[in-house]
Amino acid sequence: MSERRHHRRKEVDARVELHHPDLGTIKAHTRDISNGGMFVVLQQCKGFPVGARVRLRLVDSAAPGIMFNAKVVHRTGEGIGLMFLNYEQDGARFALTELRRVWRPKEGARASP
């Protein structure tokens, strides 16, 4: 199987909250994150078919008020792969390119491609 990702992944175990209109809020954690999405480890993936849309929040983020809108792009027995679509902050919706423009890595850190 060929690699189709556009962004490099980084192994990150971060707490997230998934918000789904039918399932409510589900607490989970990530396995990896990239500029384009993340893999979320879930006990039960049944309510998340490929193509389903979810909202998610990184619980321990430096900006916990940001909600990401994402789409399920694949499922495994361990969880779901999400592709970021856009994000919301203070009631306004923004393109991901805007977040990448305003969110800079800490001084001395290298931004991921």
Instruction: For residue 109, give both structure tokens.
Output: 């850190």
Gap between the Cα atoms of 71 and 1, Å rounded: 22
CA-based angle 97:101:102, to the nearest 5? Answer: 120
The answer to whether residue 95 sits within a structural domain is yes
Q: Report the CATH number at residue 19.
A: 2.40.10.220
The answer to whether residue 47 sits within a structural domain is yes
* CA 1 to each of CA 4, 16, 34, 88, 106: distance values in angstroms, whole numbers, following the listed order: 9, 29, 20, 34, 36
The answer to whether residue 96 sits within a structural domain is yes
Provide the residue range defining the domain that includes 70.
10-102
pTM for this prediction: 0.80
The pLDDT confidence band at residue 113, using thresholds 50, 70 and 90, is: very low
DSSP classification of residue 14: -
Q: What is the pLDDT of residue 26?
A: 93
